Structure 1
Amino acid sequence: MNVDNADWWRGAVIYQIYPRSFQDTTGDGIGDLAGIAARLRHAADLGADAVWLSPFFRSPMDDMGYDVSDYCAVEPMFGTLADFDSVVERAHELGLKVVIDQVLSHTSSKHAWFEESRAGRDTAKADWYVWAEPKPDGTPPNNWLSIFGGPAWEWDGVRGQYYLHNFLASQPDLNFHNPEVQDAILETVRFWLERGVDGFRLDTANFYFHDAELRDNPPPPAGEDAVATLGDARTNPYDFQDHIYDKTRPENLDFLRRFRSLLDSYEGRTSVGEVSDGARSLQTVARYTAGSDKLHMCYTFDLLTGPFSAAHFRRAVENFKAESRDGWVCWSLSNHDVVRHVTRWAGDGEGTDPLARFGAALVATLEGSICLYQGEELGLGEAELAFEDLTDPYGIRFWPAYKGRDGCRTPMVWEKNAQNAGFSKAERTWLPVPEAHRLRAVDTQEEVEGSILEHYRAVLSFRRRHPVLKTGTTRFLTSDDDILAFVREGDGERLLFAFNFARRPAEWRLPDGLTIGEPVAMPGFAPAIEDNRVRLGGLDVFCARLG
């Protein structure tokens, strides 16, 4: 096996595509696989190494494809298997790897496996899902809660038992304690490996196993605040529990080893797991990526939520490094589940372009791999949608305290003056195209000096020119509250970075013993240095090669 090819994922830039919102070629107002193939050059020109496709499998679409009814079929609204093969072929022509979403913890209630399981307690698949008897008073077997609201248990009158669902009631959890379930799931993974995919993003990777004794979850430890899953920490009662029994169970590690063994039987494949585990997320990432027998890398919600501050970013990186000696993390600032980061970070009435430029530079210089979410490179903010436009069951359930995830899932904007900004020729698209986004369409920024799109391209080019940013280590330096300063070392290079998180100018004195070899121009920024003092503007970045 070619080692370089096997390790392509280390430090890779992965561009996330949300298929429903990328490009519609059929005129039904919903993006499709043919549209992805037609627009892949955008990701290649941006400087991505791979694309991650959110689910396109057959599904009733109760949760926009994260409720799979057939793991080995394409949902007709997205196209056919032949269309998927064309995406892989076109991506490889452009030098892009293809990573697909695998939703393994649960299926749709319309999946044939569940329909057989619920039919009776003596069917071949009776134990393929998590079934439990009610308490004597008819209530659910324990206190576990669904992330999408209410108990995590749904009564099934056909079978006469409760079944577990960590998300919607139409998303029953598979029983990974049953080896047959693991075998069947791994065969669906093999199906896509045989079709040439280069990797898998594992949805809810720490949810596969549950406590076999069905013990109640306790409240969070005394003195520890509830950690928000999505939205604010007190919006959803899910966050009032310490989820030690309904997810992140120790048995998960053995399944991840089985998964990795399958991937390793193919050349150059990779995996990135989504980990949502509250305050323990980075510890879980460290366990799931340690050694070379589990996941290649994971990402958490640490940078997808939380404050915009130097301390928060430093703490996230240091916590991971403290927990992990040989694991690998994948950082992202935005994705399809959270408010877009320029909106999260902006104050009332504040312009977002400086935040977009700053965020691009910051994530591109962090140790690990990175994910960029479609539209991030255009500086798109969160869309404001009316309640009647919502499709996200999570947002509908908790409106108006939490407005859901539709605001970050609106269609990609390609051409300012085209119908639906070039996304679709339909009279109505599945989510509306915001007028504010239209003004940021690709054709308004392409080859425009100073645009956010060209800034992203320049920053990613900078990252490619400095291999230390892909695989080098990180050493943090002493700084004040608003400055994040660190050195990236490796591959015969040492680069110093100082990020000013404040909106106002700041001055940072180089630590004693640190000698600047020469300043290095970081695209889009122009700080100054004199007498070992770095003068930074608001949301400014300094970079230098150390002597």
Structure 2
Amino acid sequence: MSKHANPNWWQEAIIYQVYPRSYLDTNGDGVGDLAGITDRLDYIAKLGVDIVWISPFFKSPMKDFGYDVSDYCDVDPLFGNLADFDKLIAKAHSLGVKIMIDQVMSHCSEDHPWFKESRSSRDNPKADWFVWADPLPDGNPPNNWLSVFGGSSWQWDSRRKQYYMHNFLVSQPDLNFHNPEVQQAMLDSLRFWLERGVDGVRMDACNFHFHDRQLRSNPPALVRDTATVTDVNPYGMQAHIHDKSQPENVAFLQRLRVLLDEFGAVAIGEVGADDALAVMAEYTAGGDKLHMAYSFNLLNEICTARHIRKQVEDFKARVKDGWASWSVGNHDVPRVTTRWGKNHNPAAFGKLVLAMQLSLKGTPCLYQGDELAFTEAEVPYELIQDPYGITFWPEFKGRDGCRTPIAWTNGENGGFTAGKPWLPVAEEHKAVAASLQEGDADSPLNFARRMIAWRRTMPQLTRGDIVFYEAPEPVLAFRRELPGERSVIAIFNLGKEAVNFTLPAAKGAQKLEQPGLPGEVVDGEVRLPAYGAWFGYAA
């Protein structure tokens, strides 16, 4: 039975992602922990978000920093224990905040007992729990599939004298979802956390669960995918029609939804695909699979009004009853103030992008530090931790720059730890630390709080339809329509130069008092300074 009076509460919610290694360290070992998240839940609640998505904290050898799970039903000692998690849940719920965990189902760690048993022989009880294949006659892998993290997605195993599949690191073998026992084991592990009070699940790499049984090679890509991977990665040179996004996944997601509905919990899926919008549409349509999904299409290097508009309009056109989550930052990509804003006035640009993200139709997903308008940190090669970055250095520096610890103060280690932080705390982050922003009414942090609170008073922005206006680059303009409410016009200048243009729809519109972005409309002429915005009721 649902715990929520409004069954679609998640459509009006805001998600806030916490990367636990980098949030707050309470025991001085240099790595953030569950107790640190609990300690900062008041800060999160004051921000005004509804759901906290916590990246993996399960037992792991940490070769991919928790995304290589060795025990799905326990907390890694690095982060604490189950009692610490229960305290986190209890405090979050007392503050009216829901907790979403990160489930990595497509693969696990080579240290997981399941894989250790599977690789021991070809006839053990878990022999078919992973994707094994014989070599070609010349000893090569069975096909041309590539790993997202570089090289072949097949690794030779001397025990079974076979190759096993890994879509990511060699140490992350892929589970065989064609085996019903694997599906059930994954659902059982999720039930373990739902019974502890978890309110939702973020499905990591949710279109990677199944592979083509015939192991057919992928053809070359007609259009290279540069949204999911960097252009120095050959992974984008294939059309990934056989190694992921298989039709069998739909039935599994339906089984997942039945379990979630039993607890009134929600799911958001991460979709990395050649045609991500099509997969998002397929996985969220019908109300019987994922509640919502997000892609990498707003997590790439392209920052144009035309691009943003196309993503939203294409999703709307391709799925009538599904739901999107729009994310412009997370633990896998450079911070948006650097990636899109090029470090030009990050405070102003961060405010503008947050306001835009909160105004699109869909559930916003914010990344820790974006409310502080943090820029991408520079991590020197000798301190890089991310195996993805080590492989493709220097053209691609990996994901450490967005994963550096939060600067809570401008003191030593930014108040993150009393020890040596696992990644250095950026000096530029300490200069705009959370404690400094608290006392500045015009800071990105206080703007974020006001903007989130204001959004709650505007049902058009949480439930309304979206219709775009023609506007010159770099301006994004649209209206949000909700039956029984006045339509709201929203206009954003994504550029670093002032823009003046005429928008007939804005003539006679009544300005809305929003949380503080500069801009005005005079008789239909829109006047926006750099990173300015304007909201108004349509005439």
TM-score by length of structure 2 reads 0.98
Q: Are the counterparts in 2 of residues 516 and 545 from structure 1 also a CA contact under 8 Å? A: no
1:518, distance to aligned residue in structure 2 (A): 1.4
Q: Which residue of 1 aligns with 2:465?
A: 473
Q: Which residue of 2 aligns with 1:325?
A: 320
Structure 1 segments (4+ residues) deviating >6 Å: none
Separation (CA, whole Å) in 2 of partners of 1:3 and 1:87: 20
Q: Which residue of 2 aligns with 1:273?
A: 269
Separation (CA, whole Å) in 2 of partners of 1:303 and 1:228: 8
Q: Which residue of 1 aligns with 2:354?
A: 360
Q: Which residue of 1 aligns with 2:258?
A: 261
Q: Which residue of 2 aligns with 1:293?
A: 288
1:298, distance to aligned residue in structure 2 (A): 0.4
Q: Which amino acid aligns with 1:325?
A: K
Superposed CA offset, 1:196-242 (max 9, x none): 00000000000000000000000112xx23434233x2x00111101
Q: Are the counterparts in 2 of residues 340 and 382 from structure 1 also a CA contact under 8 Å? A: yes
Q: Are the counterparts in 1 of residues 23 and 37 from structure 2 also a CA contact under 8 Å? A: yes
Q: Which amino acid aligns with 1:421?
A: G
Q: Are the counterparts in 1 of residues 128 and 176 from structure 2 also a CA contact under 8 Å? A: yes
Secondary structure of residue in 1 paired with 2:286:
coil
Superposed CA offset, 1:321-356 (max 9, x none): 111101001111110000000001234x73222211
1:246 aligns with 2:243: yes
Q: Are the counterparts in 2 of residues 60 and 108 from structure 1 also a CA contact under 8 Å? A: yes
Separation (CA, whole Å) in 1 of partners of 2:509 and 2:345: 35
Separation (CA, whole Å) in 2 of partners of 1:502 and 1:68: 42
1:447, distance to aligned residue in structure 2 (A): 3.4
Q: Are the counterparts in 2 of residues 56 and 74 from structure 1 also a CA contact under 8 Å? A: yes
Q: Which residue of 2 aligns with 1:230?
A: 229
1:510, distance to aligned residue in structure 2 (A): 2.6
Q: Which residue of 2 aligns with 1:498?
A: 491
Separation (CA, whole Å) in 2 of partners of 1:457 and 1:414: 17
Q: Are the counterparts in 2 of residues 478 and 511 from structure 1 also a CA contact under 8 Å? A: no
Deviates most, 42-51 or 532-541: 532-541
Secondary structure of residue in 2 paired with 1:384:
coil
Separation (CA, whole Å) in 2 of partners of 1:481 and 1:386: 36
1:2, distance to aligned residue in structure 2 (A): 6.3
1:481, distance to aligned residue in structure 2 (A): 2.6
Q: Which residue of 2 aligns with 1:164?
A: 165
Q: Which residue of 2 aligns with 1:136?
A: 137
Q: Are the counterparts in 2 of residues 297 and 327 from structure 1 also a CA contact under 8 Å? A: yes
Q: Which amino acid aligns with 2:97?
A: L
Separation (CA, whole Å) in 2 of partners of 1:202 and 1:530: 46
Secondary structure of residue in 2 paired with 1:51:
strand
Superposed CA offset, 1:269-313 (max 9, x none): 1000000003x1011101100011100000111111131111011
Separation (CA, whole Å) in 2 of partners of 1:475 and 1:526: 23
1:23 aligns with 2:15: no
Secondary structure of residue in 2 paired with 1:92:
helix
Separation (CA, whole Å) in 2 of partners of 1:480 and 1:433: 39
Q: 2:386 pairs with 367, 387, 392, which one?
A: 392
Q: How does 1:16-55 map to 2 (within 5 A)?
A: 16-55=17-56
Q: How does 1:112-511 map to 2 (within 5 A)?
A: 112-221=113-222, 224-231=223-230, 233=231, 235-266=232-263, 268-278=264-274, 280-347=275-342, 350-417=344-411, 419-426=412-419, 428-490=420-482, 492-511=485-504
Q: 1:524 pairs with 500, 516, 521, which one?
A: 516
Secondary structure of residue in 1 paired with 2:205:
coil
For the aligned residues, what is the CA RMSD?
A: 1.3
Separation (CA, whole Å) in 1 of partners of 2:121 and 2:3: 50
Separation (CA, whole Å) in 1 of partners of 2:526 and 2:156: 63
Separation (CA, whole Å) in 2 of partners of 1:289 and 1:154: 33
Separation (CA, whole Å) in 1 of partners of 2:280 and 2:423: 34
Q: How does 1:81-120 map to 2 (within 5 A)?
A: 81-120=82-121
Q: Are the counterparts in 2 of residues 498 and 543 from structure 1 also a CA contact under 8 Å? A: yes
Secondary structure of residue in 2 paired with 1:67:
coil
Secondary structure of residue in 2 paired with 1:48:
coil
> Runs of 5+ in structure 1 lacking a partner?
none
Secondary structure of residue in 1 paired with 2:151:
coil
Secondary structure of residue in 2 paired with 1:362:
helix
1:448, distance to aligned residue in structure 2 (A): 1.0
Q: Which amino acid aligns with 2:345?
A: G
**Residue 2 to residue 32, structure 1, CA distance change in 2 (3 Å):** closer
Separation (CA, whole Å) in 2 of partners of 1:524 and 1:248: 43
Q: Are the counterparts in 2 of residues 357 and 524 from structure 1 also a CA contact under 8 Å? A: no
> Runs of 5+ in structure 2 lacking a partner?
none
1:508, distance to aligned residue in structure 2 (A): 2.7
Q: Which amino acid aligns with 1:373?
A: Y
Q: Are the counterparts in 1 of residues 227 and 296 from structure 2 also a CA contact under 8 Å? A: no
Superposed CA offset, 1:238-261 (max 9, x none): 111010100000101000000001
Separation (CA, whole Å) in 2 of partners of 1:502 and 1:384: 24
Q: How many residue pairs were aligned?
A: 537
Separation (CA, whole Å) in 1 of partners of 2:227 and 2:494: 24
Separation (CA, whole Å) in 2 of partners of 1:100 and 1:6: 20
Separation (CA, whole Å) in 2 of partners of 1:517 and 1:506: 19
Separation (CA, whole Å) in 2 of partners of 1:379 and 1:484: 21
1:530, distance to aligned residue in structure 2 (A): 1.8
Secondary structure of residue in 1 paired with 2:501:
strand
Secondary structure of residue in 2 paired with 1:480:
coil
Deviates most, 313-322 or 486-495: 486-495
Q: Are the counterparts in 1 of residues 284 and 323 from structure 2 also a CA contact under 8 Å? A: yes
Q: Which amino acid aligns with 2:26?
A: T
Separation (CA, whole Å) in 2 of partners of 1:49 and 1:484: 27
Q: Are the counterparts in 2 of residues 516 and 544 from structure 1 also a CA contact under 8 Å? A: no
Q: Are the counterparts in 1 of residues 18 and 55 from structure 2 also a CA contact under 8 Å? A: yes
Separation (CA, whole Å) in 1 of partners of 2:208 and 2:56: 18
Q: Are the counterparts in 1 of residues 507 and 525 from structure 2 also a CA contact under 8 Å? A: no
Q: Which amino acid aligns with 1:351?
A: N
Secondary structure of residue in 2 paired with 1:162:
strand
Separation (CA, whole Å) in 2 of partners of 1:356 and 1:516: 29
Secondary structure of residue in 2 paired with 1:100:
strand
Q: Which amino acid aligns with 2:260?
A: L
Deviates most, 476-485 or 26-35: 476-485
